[in-house]
Structure 1
Amino acid sequence: MSLHIAAPAEALRRRCEATTVRTTSGECGYEDGAVVPSGPWQPLSDALFRRVMAPTTADTLIELVEATAIEPHVLNAPHVTRLGCADSPGLALTTTVNYPDSTRIGLHLDNWDKLNYRDKASGRRRLCVNLGPGTRYLLVCDIDIQAICRAVRPDYATCYPHTDDLRAYAAATLPMTCLRIRLAPGDGYVAPTEFLPHDGSTEDCAAPSSAAFWLGRWPRGAFGSRPVR
C-alpha cells in the first residue's frame, strides 16, 4: 500500500470519499482513454480507512496542511521550485488540461523530475494550496506507478513511467480505488504526485477556484503541527 495520508482520523473521515475509476471514450472535453472517477462517491470503508492512515514510517506521504501554518522560509528553501497557479471552473470532474487542445487528461502522473522506474518514488513532493473562492478536491489513487508498470509492462524495470501506463492499467480493469479529499479555501496538501496517480476536481462546487503549486523535498511535518479540521 503506497497511499498514506497524514491527518487527524476524524478529519480524514469527514473530508475523504472513495470510488472506482473508468476510462473515457468520445466524451466531450476529454482525451480518449483518460482515467476518471466513476462515482458515486462513498464514505471510506473501515478497511480502506485503516489502509490509508499514515504510519510513522511512511515515505510516500500525503499531508493535509493549512496555508496559515506555512512559514515563508519553507517556500524559499533552495530545493523549492514555484510552479505557479492554475484556475479551474466549478463543476469539473477533473481539472488538468492538455493546453494545446484544451482537453482534460484525467488522472495522471507528474514528471517534473524525469525519473525512471527505479527512482520514481524519490521524486519531490508537490505542495498545493487552494486559493478559492470555491472548494476543490485532491483526487488520488491507492496504487503507485511502480506497481502499475509491473502489471502492464514487460520492460518495467528499464522504463520511464508515464500516464499511458496508468491508462493501460485502468483499461484492463485491474484493481484501483480513487479517493477524493476536500480542500476548502486556505487548505492545501503535500503529495508525491510523481508517484501516485492524481488530479484536482471541483465536481460538487459551482464556484471557480485557483490553486498555487510548489515542488520541494520537505520532511514530514515541515508545514507546522496545526491539524486540519
Structure 2
Amino acid sequence: MPLHIAYGDPSALRARCEIATVRTVRPGEAAYEPGAIIPAGQWRPMSEADVKAVTAPRRPLDSTIVEIVRPAYREGLPLEDLTGLLGDPDAVYLGQALAKPDMTTTTDNYEDGRLIGLHLDNWDKLPYADKHTGRRRVCFNLGPGTRFIVLGTIDAQAVCRAVHPNDRTHRYPHTQDYRDYVASGRPLRIIRVRLAAGEGYVAPTEYLLHDGSSEGQGQPSAAAFWLGHWPRGILPSLI
C-alpha cells in the first residue's frame, strides 16, 4: 500500500506538507554513501490530486498509516516511559538523535559516519509477504528547532515487486531495493512534513522510505524515538 496519511482537515495537511522527487547522490557528494538517494530539491505545495493520493482508505491497516501527532508528554516523565501511556507493553525506546541545522537528511552510518540518505528501517526483519505488518515508529521533536519527516510515496512491497519481479517471495525488502529502483530511472515522489518542537509522528518506517531533515532550518533539533504496535488514533492528531 502506498503512503497514506491520516488527517481530518485537508487544508491543515497542505499547510504542513510539500512534495518533491528524489535523485541519486553524485560522486562528489562525499558526505553520503555511494548510491544513496536524497531529495532532489524544488519542493512545491501539495495539489488537490496529491492530497487525494495520500488519503487513507475507509478501512486502513493501522500498521501502514502515517499520523502527525502531539505526543502525550507530561513534564517530569522520563522519555523512555512515554509510551507506557500508549498501551503497548512491549514498545521499545530507541533513544535520541540530534539533527544539525540545514541537513537535507539526518541519518548516518554509525560505522563510518557517512549519511545513508532516504532509507528503509529493518528492526523487525520481515520478509516480503509480511513487510506491511511491522511496528510503527513514534517520533517526538524535542526541539529547539523545527524538523521534517520525509516519506516516500511508494511502499516497500511495491518497490520489491518492481525490482525483483520473478523472485520476490523469499526476499526481505531493503533500502537497496529503493536505490536500485531509482537508479533504473523509475520515478519516486516524496513528501516532507513539518514538525515544530513538541510535535511528532507515528509512521511505518519499516514499510516506507524515509528520513529526518532540518533543511532550511537555522536551529538544531533533537528527536526521541520508540517502536511498537499502536492503533490509529492513540495520540491526538494535529491535522
TM-score, structure 1 as length reference: 0.94
Q: Does 1:175 align with 2:179?
A: no
Deviates more, 1:25-34 or 1:114-123: 25-34
Which range moved further: 69-78 or 136-145?
A: 69-78
Q: Cα deviations across residues 161-192 of structure 1 (Å, max 9, x unaligned)?
A: 11111100011121210100000001100000
Cα distance in 2 for partners of 1:213, 1:193 equals: 11
SS in 2 for 1:118: helix
Q: Secondary structure at the match of 2:14?
A: helix
1:67 pairs, out of 61, 68, 71, with 71
Residue 72 of structure 1: how far off its partner (Å): 5.6
Aligned position for 2:45? 43
Contact 2:138 2:226 in 1 (8 A): yes
Match of 2:159, SS? Answer: helix
State whether residues 74 and 222 of structure 1, in contact with CA within 8 Å, keep that contact through their aligned partners in structure 2: no
Structure 2 unmatched runs, 5+: 75-81
Deviation sequence 1:77-111 (CA, Å, 0-9, x none):
31211101001101000000001111100110000
Alignment partner of 2:210 out of 198, 209, 212: 198
What residue is the counterpart of 2:2 in the other structure?
2
SS at match of 2:149: strand
Aligned residues: 227
The Cα shift of 1:11 comes to 1.5
Q: What does residue range 40-119 of structure 1 map to in structure 2 within 5 Å?
A: 40-59=42-61, 60-68=64-72, 73-75=84-86, 77-119=88-130
Is the 2:127–2:171 contact (alpha carbons within 8 Å) kept by the matching residues of 1? yes
With 182-191 and 7-16 compared, the bigger mean Cα shift is at 7-16
- Code of the residue aligned with 1:6 in structure 2: it is A
Q: Tell me the amino acid that sits aligned with residue 106 of structure 2.
A: T
3-state secondary structure, aligned to 1:99: coil
Paired amino acid for 2:197 = P
Quote the offset at 1:53 in angstroms. 2.1
Letter of the 1:105 partner, please give it. Answer: I
3-state SS of the aligned residue for 1:67? coil
CA contact (8 A) 2:87 2:230 kept: no
The code of the aligned residue for 2:100 comes to: P
Q: How many Å separate the matches in 1 of 2:58 and 2:139?
A: 22
Which of 218, 224, 232 matches 1:220? Answer: 232
Q: Tell me if the contact between 1:68 and 1:186 (Cα under 8 Å) persists in the aligned partners.
A: no
Amino acid at match of 1:138: I
> 2-side partners of 1:69 and 1:3: how far apart?
27
Counterpart AA for 2:142: L
Quote the sequence identity (%): 52
The offset of 1:75, in angstroms, is: 4.7
For 1:149, the equivalent position in structure 2 comes to: 160
* TM-score of the superposed pair, with normalisation by structure 2: 0.90
Residue 62 of structure 1 aligns to which amino acid in structure 2? V
